[in-house]
A and B are shown apart, each in its own frame.
Chain A
Amino acid sequence: MTALTAQVAEPAPPPPPDARAPKRRGVELTLLAGAVLISVLGHLYVGLTTTGRVPRPAAQYAAGLAAAALLAHVAVRLRAPYADPLVLPIAVLLNGLGLVLIQRLDATTPGHLTAGDQLLWSALGVALFVLVVLVLRDHRVLQRYAYLSVTVALLLMLVPVFFPAVNGAHIWIRFAGLSFQPGEFAKILLAVFFAAYLAANRTALALTGRRLFWKLRLLPGRVLGPILAIWLLSVGVLVLERDLGTSLLFFGLFVIMLFTATGRIGWIAIGLLLAAVGAYAVGTFEPHVHSRVDDWMNPFASIERGEGPGQLAQSLFAFGAGGLLGSGLGHGQSFLIGFAAKSDFILATAGEELGLVGLAAILLLYGLLVARGFRAGLALRDPFGRLLATGLASIVALQVFVIAGGVTGLIPLTGMAMPFLAQGGSSVVTNWIIVALLVRLSDSARRPAPQEPPE
């Protein structure tokens, strides 16, 4: 090299990569132990308050949960040693809390036990998590399957149209006694497609297009066209299936990822405006949606009509009854909410029995998970990874906002599953895959440069 380097006395030996980029696997293990402990204690507590004795399979439950957490931890240690140490423990804790709440709700509906199913689905979710972490060595591989993803996603969304509606929505596939919600998987595939497509066409989207006035430029139709078409198609299908929550989620996902890729705030504003007009039209003319909006505007209207409280009113009563500290697990009256207590309205049980303090803690856990997703996106160096991390984090954030805002009366209610918490197999499995992808992305983001595998 040059003389300058020569003059330096003795070049220091490069520090070991571990010292520069701490892996923090020990932190993850400790946090996992805490998450498992909290879940097991919750399990015992619910057993003691609802039946007066320690639940019979408590030891197996604790062992199973610990084993699942340990297995996931080993997979991360082996194949994603630099992964964010918070992501996996948060997922385990939320899943564990969900199991506790479902177990608690099972106690009030003896004819409809679902904690066992949820446990199986959670185990399947963890298995898929391990599989994804072990098999998917580099997230950029997914970029290659962008078009395959979108094709499968659209197929998945179309299939339920041919199955009978459940509670007014065509979003389930019933097969061999199991019901399944393919739209849940479609959202990951769609996020992969959006990320891949926008990453590939980012320059064209950001810099080309005819100038309209001031800084607004028409996005190039050649590039925007296909993605817009696919988005419209998916939202259209969902509206057809009356899956409002998911269509709202897809709309938000599209807008956020387009904004992240192009930085065009003006177009986002126009998109939101159009969406607001569309939402108003649907809310006014579609009876199913219209009633939801009416409920939101006046949740106690049915009481004034003498028909007793509706589900949203019952949910608000439950939150109100919880107050600051909650009634304690097992001491609430969640069964008053009705049939959706274990799925759409599970947050109401959390609010009633754990109080404002417990509910805020749960929401902050989600916030932390989302923040770690965005953090991975910020630290990643490839546009696809950044967009994918942003997309996955946004999916979780939007889903939490839509369902939590709905059951607390902040926005109109749309049926959607609270990630990890709500009873529902496809939802739990999907969320574990999202967490696996976030672990993989954060591993790439935090991996020191020399260790970066070649493209």
Chain B
Amino acid sequence: MIRYIRWCAYFCALLLVALLVNIARVQVWKSAAYGANPANKRPAIARYAEPRGDILVDGRPVTGSRDSGQLLRYERTYKNGPLYAPVTGFSSQTYGTSFVERAEDGILAGTDPGLSAFPLWYDLTRGRPAGGNAATTVRAGVQLAAYAGLAGKRGAVAAVEPATGKILALVSSPSYDPSVLSGTGTRVKEEWARLNADPARPMLNRALRETYPPGSTFKIVTAAAALDAGVVTDVDAPTETPDPYPLPGTSTLLPNAGTGCQDASMAEAVQWSCNTVMAKIGVRVGLRGMVEAAERFGFNRDGPRVPSWVSRSNFDTDMSQDQLALSSIGQFNTRATPLQMAMVAAAVANGGELKSPYLVERTTQDDGSPVRRGDQRSLGRAMNPATALRMQELMVKVVENGTGKNAAIPGAVVGGKTGTAQHGVGNAGTPYAWFISWAKAEGAPLPAVAVAVVVEDAAADRGDISGNLAAAPIARAVMEAALAAR
């Protein structure tokens, strides 16, 4: 019997070995796969177990964390939620993250390896660093000026610092309070459904993600292309353009909104926004030249990461001459984001060099020690320095004595360009009013700000007047705030 008892003991030992091998398989070999299973709630619980780091504007947090006592514990709160929503985005237990909340999620949630002082330290201790902070380039005063300017209207404002690419303001109107999306439960789901069903689309970030026909503001690109290509050598020379201008190869006549465009020079054409002259100049530059110029400004590229992605602005690369003529004045298929048009103004103000716009100045640990700095990168040269100087003069004239007088600021050099874009079937929709501009304090070496403003429901009915009436005052307020903030 002794022998058989031993065999039984061996059998039990075998069972024990099987158990040990299996738990090693489950706990070591399969551990990562189980952790990555979307039905496993543990990563989400761990993620929200600690307060999230903050997003800073002017060094002050515009976000906060609230202990909900729920399973996914810390919920996001926002100070001035609607004002900063296009910058921060939302951070929701139910719907994930967007914009800076998404782009800097690793830092804010405390999972970024850069937050650890020693490599593998938190892997060893199984702890997690406190969430870090993301300091934005946004200036509170500039943002507030833009938001207040748009109040009650649909539209967007993008403001950048031309020499660095820092985004000083990003506003989209109407906006929403991202804090209603924080947390879980039916209330959050209802708010999400309501925001998505709202015809005003408050969650759309119009400054980065919506493209509009840029209208006459695109004439800045056309003019720069003509100067760079040598198509126009003297900006004050008459261009021998009829008014109205028959589109090449068709019998369609392109009219002007105002008078005095007959045979006008390019300087006058920019100043008074002559469609006929600029369309003709675009055709003379040619498809290839126009496409290359537009692409140097950032069109047809996947939008820059700011660090959120930006919609692609479009300038068609395969067009007939009449289509090219329309495209050269920002109609036809030409579309641009407000940020893209702010970059156009910034390139002019910055002597032709285009800086990549960015929104996160630096990321820090919880205690403020730096993790990463936002890097200033150049996107290359949009135009020659001489062309840029010439363009600055043309844009200043628009504000001093042209279609953009409403943007003038005493004691500062301001250059601008109005625009109105028809849209809708048969141009039935209310035109979009545009204004792009830049401003430099008198005697300052560098421009302070470049701005693009779009107002969707411009009240004025015709022409560039609406750009000057609806959009230019907002741009002026933003530029004033930026000049004051320096």
- Partner of A394 from B12, B20, B39 at Cβ < 8 Å: B12
Query: Does B253 have its Cβ within 8 Å of any Cβ on chain A?
Result: no
The answer for the CA separation of A366 and B7 in the assembled complex, in Å, is: 18
B30 contacts A by Cβ under 8 Å = yes
- B31 contacts across to A, CB distance below 8 A: 320-323
**Do the beta carbons of A371 and B9 come within 8 Å of each other?**
yes
Q: Would you call B42 an interface residue if the criterion is a C-beta within 8 Å of the partner chain's C-beta atoms?
A: yes
Contacts A320-B31, A327-B126, A374-B12 known; A263 to B4 CB distance under 8 Å? yes
Whether B39 pairs with A401 at a CB distance below 8 angstroms is no
Interchain CA distance A398-B19 in the complex, whole Å:
12
Scan residues 345-369 of chain A and give those whose CB is less than 8 A from a CB of chain B: 351, 355-356, 359-360, 363-364, 366-367
Contact A363:B20 (CB < 8 A) given known A321-B35, A325-B126, A393-B12: yes
Partner pick for A397 among B2, B15, B20, B42, CB 8 A cutoff: B15
Measured CA separation A309–B27 after assembly (Å): 18
> B27 touches which one: A320, A333, A383, A397 (CB < 8 A)?
A320
B1 touches A320 (CB 8 A): no
Is B16 engaged at the interface, CB distance under 8 Å to the other chain? Answer: yes
Least CB distance, B285 to chain A, in whole angstroms: 57
Pairwise interchain contact B8-A320, C-beta atoms closer than 8 A:
no
With an 8 A cutoff between CB atoms, is B33 at the interface?
A: yes
Chain B residues near A300 (CB, 8 Å)?
37, 39
Given contacts A363-B23, A408-B22, whether A317 and B42 have CB atoms under 8 Å apart is yes
Q: Is the CB of B22 within 8 A of A324?
A: no
B interface: dominant SS: helix
The chain A residue with its CB closest to the CB of B41 is A336
> Contact flags (1/0) for B362-405 with A, using CB distance below 8 Å?
00000000000000000000000000000000000000000000
- The residue on B at minimum CB distance from A371 is B9
Verify if A313 is at the interface (C-beta below 8 Å from B): yes
Asked if B24 is at the interface (CB within 8 A of a chain A CB), the reply is: yes
Closest CB of chain A to B69's CB: distance in Å? 13
Give the complex CA separation of A371 and B5 in angstroms.
11
Per-residue interface assignment for chain A, residues 212 to 250, with 1 indicating a CB less than 8 Å from any chain B CB and 0 otherwise: 000000000000000000000000000000000000000
Query: A409 and B18 in contact (CB under 8 A), knowing A260-B1, A320-B34, A321-B35?
Result: no
Interface residues of A in 382-430 (CB under 8 A from B): 383, 386-387, 390, 393-394, 397-398, 400-401, 404-405, 408-410
Interface assignment of B45: CB less than 8 Å from any CB of chain A: yes
Please name all residues of chain B whose beta carbon is closer than 8 Å to the beta carbon of A308 when the two chains form the complex.
Answer: 39
Question: Smallest CB–CB gap between B19 and chain A, Å?
Answer: 5
Nearest chain A CB to B162 CB, angstrom units: 51
Asked, given contacts A260-B1, A321-B31, whether A374 binds B126 with beta carbons under 8 Å apart, the answer is no
A303 to B9, CA, bound (A): 40
B5 CB, min distance to chain A CBs, angstroms = 5
Q: Does A86 contact B (CB under 8 A)?
A: no
A42 CB within 8 Å of chain B: no
Per the bound structure, the CA–CA distance linking A374 and B34 in Å amounts to 38
Interface assignment of A319: CB less than 8 Å from any CB of chain B: yes
List chain A residues, Cβ under 8 A from B28.
323-324, 356
Q: Does A183 contact B (CB under 8 A)?
A: no
Residue of A nearest to B33 (CB): A320
Is A316's CB within 8 Å of the partner chain B? yes
What separation, in Å, do the CA atoms of A202 and B4 have in the docked complex? 13
Q: Are A359 and B16 in contact (CB under 8 A)?
A: no
Q: Are A321 and B34 in contact (CB under 8 A)?
A: yes
B319 beta carbon closer than 8 Å to chain A: no
Contact of B6 with A by CB under 8 A: yes
Given A317-B37, A324-B27, A324-B28, also A259-B45 (CB < 8 A):
no
Task: Indicate whether A360 sits within 8 Å of B23 (C-beta atoms), given known contacts A260-B8, A303-B39, A321-B31.
Answer: yes
Is the CB–CB distance between A374 and B8 below 8 Å? Answer: yes
Is B251 interfacial (CB 8 A cutoff)?
no
Indicate if the CB atoms of B2 and A410 lie closer than 8 Å.
Answer: no
Instruction: Point out the residues of chain A lying under 8 angstroms from B2, CB to CB.
Output: 378
Q: Take A316-B34, A323-B31, A378-B5 as given contacts and tell me if A367 and B13 are in contact as well, using a CB distance cutoff of 8 Å.
A: yes
B259 touches A (CB below 8 Å): no
A327 to B127, CA, bound (A): 9
Q: How far, in angstroms, from A385 to B36 measured CA to CA in the complex?
A: 52
Tell me, in angstroms, the Cα distance from A323 to B24 when the chains sit together: 9
Neighbouring A residues of B6 by C-beta, 8 Å: 374, 378
Among candidates B8, B19, B33, B42, residue contacting A401 with C-beta atoms closer than 8 Å: B19
Whether B8 pairs with A351 at a CB distance below 8 angstroms is no
Question: Within 8 Å of chain A (Cβ to Cβ): is B237?
Answer: no
Please determine whether A320 and B35 come into contact, CB atoms closer than 8 angstroms. yes
Closest A residue by C-beta to B13: A367
B3 touches A320 (CB 8 A): no
Q: Given A323-B31, A356-B28, A317–B23 Cβ distance below 8 Å?
A: no
Beta-carbon contact of A394 and B27 below 8 Å: no
A317 lies within 8 A of B40 (CB) = yes
Docked complex: A314-350 residues within 8 A CB-CB of B: 316-317, 319-325, 327-328, 333, 336
| Whole-angstrom CA separation of A261 from B28 in the bound complex | 41
The residues in B between 101 and 150 inclusive whose CB is less than 8 angstroms from any CB of A are 126
B151 contacts A by Cβ under 8 Å: no
- Whether A377 contacts B5 in the complex (CB less than 8 A), given A313-B39, A333-B42, comes out as yes
Bound form: Cα–Cα A328–B125 in Å:
11
- Whether the Cβ atoms of A328 and B23 lie closer than 8 Å is no
A37 on interface, CB distance cutoff 8 Å: no
- B34→A408 contact, CB < 8 A: no
Q: Name the distance in Å between A296's Cβ and chain B's nearest Cβ.
A: 12
On chain A, the residues within 8 Å of B24 by CB distance are: 356, 360
The residue in chain B whose Cβ has the minimal distance to the Cβ of A386 is: B1
B26: Cβ under 8 A from any A Cβ? yes
Do residues B42 and A410 form an inter-chain contact, with CB atoms below 8 A?
A: no
Residues of B contacting A256 in the complex (Cβ-Cβ under 8 angstroms): 8, 11
Bound CA span A408–B30, Å: 12
From B12, B15, B42, give the contact of A321 (CB < 8 A).
B42
Find out whether the CB atom of A333 lies under 8 angstroms from the CB atom of B41: yes
Is A40 part of the contact surface with B, judged by Cβ < 8 Å? no
**Out of A319, A355, A370, which one reaches B12, CB within 8 Å?**
A370
Q: Quick one: given A259-B4, A374-B8, are A355 and B27 in contact (CB under 8 Å)?
A: yes
Chain B residue nearest to A347 (CB atoms) is B23
Find out whether the CB atom of B23 lies under 8 angstroms from the CB atom of A390: no
A359 to B42, CA, bound (A): 20
B257 nearest CB across to chain A (Å): 58
Which residues on the B side are within 8 Å of A322 (C-beta)? 27, 31
**Smallest Cβ distance from B9 to chain A, in angstroms?**
4
In Å, the complex CA distance between A256 and B39 comes to: 41
B24 smallest CB distance to A (angstroms): 6
Determine the chain B residues whose CB is within 8 A of the CB of A351 once the complex forms.
23, 26-27
User: Which of A317, A355, A405 lies in contact with B34, CB distance below 8 A?
Assistant: A317
Write the chain B residue with the least CB distance to A263.
Answer: B4
| A202–B26 CA distance with the chains assembled, in angstroms | 43
Instruction: Decide yes or no: A259 and B8 within 8 Å by CB, A320-B33, A327-B126, A333-B42 being known contacts.
Output: yes
CB distance from A257 to the nearest CB of B (A): 9
- Complex CA gap A300/B32 in Å reads 15
CB of A408 within 8 A of CB of B5, answer no
CB neighbours (8 Å) of B13 from chain A are 367, 371
When distances are taken between beta carbons in the complex, the residues of chain B under 8 Å from A360 are 20, 23-24
- Alpha-carbon distance A323/B25, docked complex (angstroms): 10
Task: Report the minimum CB–CB distance from A195 to chain B (whole Å).
Answer: 12
A398 to B14, CA, bound (A): 11
Cα distance, A378 to B7, chains bound together (Å): 11
Residues of B within 8 A of A355 (CB): 27
Q: Contact between A260 and B27 (Cβ–Cβ < 8 Å)?
A: no
- Would A401 and B27 be within 8 Å (CB), given that A377-B5, A386-B1, A390-B5 are in contact? no
9 tightest A-B CB contacts, nearest first: A320-B34, A397-B12, A374-B9, A356-B27, A320-B31, A303-B39, A401-B15, A410-B22, A309-B39
Query: Mind listing 6 A-B residue pairs with CB under 8 Å?
Result: A256-B11, A259-B7, A323-B31, A356-B24, A390-B8, A405-B19
> Given contacts A324-B27, A356-B28, could you give 10 more A-B pairs where the C-beta distance is less than 8 Å?
A256-B11, A320-B27, A351-B26, A356-B23, A363-B19, A367-B12, A370-B9, A371-B13, A386-B1, A390-B8
